[in-house]
Amino acid sequence: MKHYVVGYLKKTLRFFTAFLPVTANRRKTCTGCGSCCKLPTRCLFLRDRSDGTAYCAIYRFRPLNCRKYPRTREEWLTTKTCGYTFDDHHHPH
Ligand code: SF4
């Protein structure tokens, strides 16, 4: 139960911060695993493909928080399956 409360709080936070830019240290890309569409429960618009990947039934109209996920490393809850990574190494000039 607590898991879902925290999950929905995090989702609400993502919603209200989605206007902020995606962090510059994000690398690689979405591989369509669908994990972020299950945070914390499965999205109604998530559809599965037979090859194990997933897609969004309202992709063109999806909200900003979905569009930008994972916007920051702190928001990144799907580390096991997500195609994105974050570069933590800061290169001073
Ligand atoms: S968890 Fe990452 S790879 Fe998976 S659908 Fe979301 S953004 Fe794409």
Closest-lying ligand 1 atom to the alpha carbon of residue 69: 7
C-alpha 32 – ligand 1 centre gap (Å): 5
C-alpha torsion sign, points 68, 73, 74, 77: positive
Sequence-ordered strand ranges (E) for the chain: 26-28, 46-48, 54-56, 84-86
**How is the chain split into domains, by residue range?**
31-81
* 42-59 residue pLDDT tens: 999 999 999 988 999 999
Instruction: Look up residue 12 and give its DSSP letter.
Output: H
Q: Is the pTM of this model over 0.85?
A: yes
Q: What is the mean pLDDT of residues 57-72?
A: 97
Confirm or reject: Cβ of 77 under 6 Å from ligand 1: no
How far apart, in whole angstroms, are the C-alpha atoms of residue 30 and residue 84?
6
